[in-house]
Amino acid sequence: MKKSPILVVLIASLFGCNTTTESNQAVANQDVKSKIVQRDLNSIATDYVKLVLQVGQFDGDIVDAYYGPEELKPDDLEQGAAFPADELSATVEILIREIKELADDAIPTDQQARREMLEKQLIAIKTKVNMLAGKEYSFDQEANLLYDAAPPKFELEYFDALLAQLNGLLPGEGALSQRYVDFTSQFEIPKDKIDIVFKTAIAEARKRTLAKISLPENENFLLEYVTDKAWSGYNYYQGNAQSLIQINIDFPIYITRAIDLAAHEGYPGHHVYNALLEQKLVKENQWIEFSVYQLFSPQSLIAEGSANYGIDVAFPGESRLNYEKEVLFPLAGLDVSKADLYYQVHELIGKLTYAGNEAARQYLNGMITRDEAAEIMQKYQLYSQEKAYQRTRFIDKYRSYVINYNLGKDLVAEYVTSNGGTANNVDTRWQVFEELLSNPKTASMIAK
C-alpha cells in the first residue's frame, strides 16, 4: 500500500527524522545562500554601473564601452552642471563598505573572484572621482589605486646597455637615433598598401584565434583609418560581439605594426576579450558590472596586457617572422633580405618601453618638464621629436595608464606560463589565455 505524502511527513515527525537527506538539505541551503548573495552582489553591481555611467558624464574617457540596459543610464546633464564630488564620493564609499561586509563563507565559490574584482573596480572609480575633484596622487599611488599594480622602477642608466646593443646592430655611422630612423624607414608600409596589409594581418590573426577560441557566430569588426589621435590604434567595443577598430595614420606605419595592431586590437586582443566577457559574464552569468568597461580600472591592465601578450600567443616564435616574410613583406612591396636584422632591432626596442614609464613617472610627479620627458623618449626609445611629443600628449590624457602595456604584458605572460601555458605547450597556452580573458581577474589576483 502506498503511503500518502501527509502520512510520510507525520511518520517522519514522530520518529524525529527528515524526509530530505542531510546532503540534500546542505545543497538546498547553499542554493538559498547563493540566491541571497547573488541578489546582494547584483544590487551592488547595478549601483556600480550607474555610478560609473554618472561619473563618465564628466570625463568622456572613463566609459570605454557600455552595452547594458538603457534604464541604467543617467539623465542628460544640465548645461554647466557642477561635478557632484561629495555625492559621488558618499555613494562609492557606501558600495565599498557593503561589498566588504559580505561574508566570505556565504559567497559561492564561483562568485568569490567576482566580488574581489568588483571591490577593486570600486576603489578605482573612487580614485577617479577624487582626481576629478582635484586630488593629486603620485604616479605609483595612482597606478596602484587605479590598476591594482605596483609598477617597477628603473634607473635610466639601466637602458644604456640596451642602447649599446642597438648601436652594435644598426649599420652606418653617426648618431644612433638617426641610424635607427634610416634603417627602419626601409620597412615602412607605403600609404597605398596600408589597407590591404592590415586587412590581411587581421584575417590571419582571426583565423588563428578562431581555431583555438570559440566566439559568437555574429562577431565582427569595422576597420577605420584616422588622424590627430594620441594613440596608434584603438578598439571601441560596440556590444553584441561588434567592434570598431581605428588605426592612426599620422605617423609612418612599419611592417611590424600590422601584426601588432591586428592581434592587439582584434584577435586575440581587445575584440576577443570584450566578446568573451560579454558572452560569458554578462549574458550567461548575468554579472551586470561587466556591461560597462571602466577604462581607468584594474580591468584595463588585463585588457592591455593580454592584448600585447596575445600577439605572441597567436604568432609564437619563428611563425610570426616566417608569415611576415612570406606574406606581408611581399604584399607591402618590402625587401625581406634584412628582415631578420630588423626583428632583432625590434625585439630590443620592445625592451626599452619601460624607459617611457620612467619618463611618465618623472613628468607626472613634476620632477621634469614636458620637453625633458620628450628628450628621454627620444634618447631611450629612439622616437622622433614629433613622435615623442605625441607620446607626451598620451601621458597628459591617460597618465599612469602607460603601465598597462608593458607591465600588464609581463604579468599576463607570467600567469599563463606558471599555469602550464609554455611556448612548447601550445594548446594549454591557448586554454589558460582564454580562461584569463573569460573570468574576473586583476593584477594582484593573477599574481597570487
Backbone angles phi, psi at 221, to 5 degrees: -150, 160
Among 414, 441, 443, 447, residue whose Cα is nearest residue 117: 441
Asked if the structure places residue 140 within a domain, the reply is no
Verify that 99 and 185 share a domain, yes or no.
Answer: no
List the domain range (segments joined by +) for residue 279.
156-446
Asked if the structure places residue 439 within a domain, the reply is yes
Verify that 222 and 95 share a domain, yes or no.
Answer: no
Among 349, 291, 305, 359, residue whose Cα is nearest residue 154: 359
Asked if the structure places residue 148 within a domain, the reply is no
Cα separation, 225 vs 152, in Å, equals 34
Sequential pLDDT tens for the chain (448 residues)? 433 333 333 333 333 444 444 455 444 445 544 444 555 899 999 999 999 999 999 999 999 999 999 999 999 998 889 999 999 999 999 999 999 998 777 788 889 999 999 999 999 999 999 999 999 999 999 999 999 999 999 999 999 999 999 999 999 888 898 899 999 999 999 999 999 999 999 999 999 999 999 999 999 999 999 999 988 999 999 999 999 999 999 989 999 999 999 999 999 999 999 999 999 999 999 999 999 999 999 999 999 999 999 999 999 989 999 999 999 999 999 999 999 999 999 999 999 999 999 999 999 999 999 999 999 999 999 999 999 999 999 999 999 999 999 999 999 999 999 999 998 999 999 999 999 999 999 999 999 7
Q: Which residue has the cell 578562431?
A: 210
Cα separation, 337 vs 319, in Å, equals 17
Verify that 112 and 45 share a domain, yes or no.
Answer: yes
Cα separation, 210 vs 251, in Å, equals 31
Buried b (16+ CB within 10 A) or exposed e, 206-216: bebbeebbebe
Verify that 175 and 130 share a domain, yes or no.
Answer: no
Domain final residue pick, 75, 101, 135: 135
Verify that 310 and 429 share a domain, yes or no.
Answer: yes
Asked if the structure places residue 144 within a domain, the reply is no
Verify that 170 and 80 share a domain, yes or no.
Answer: no
Asked if the structure places residue 117 within a domain, the reply is yes
Domain final residue pick, 75, 102, 135: 135
Verify that 163 and 304 share a domain, yes or no.
Answer: yes
Verify that 61 and 178 share a domain, yes or no.
Answer: no
Verify that 431 and 355 share a domain, yes or no.
Answer: yes
Verify that 116 and 170 share a domain, yes or no.
Answer: no
Verify that 197 and 63 share a domain, yes or no.
Answer: no
Domain final residue pick, 135, 170, 187: 135
Task: Give residues with Cβ within 8 angstroms of 133, minimum separation 6.
Answer: 83, 85, 89
Cα separation, 392 vs 6, in Å, equals 78
Verify that 300 and 260 share a domain, yes or no.
Answer: yes
Domains of the chain: total: 2
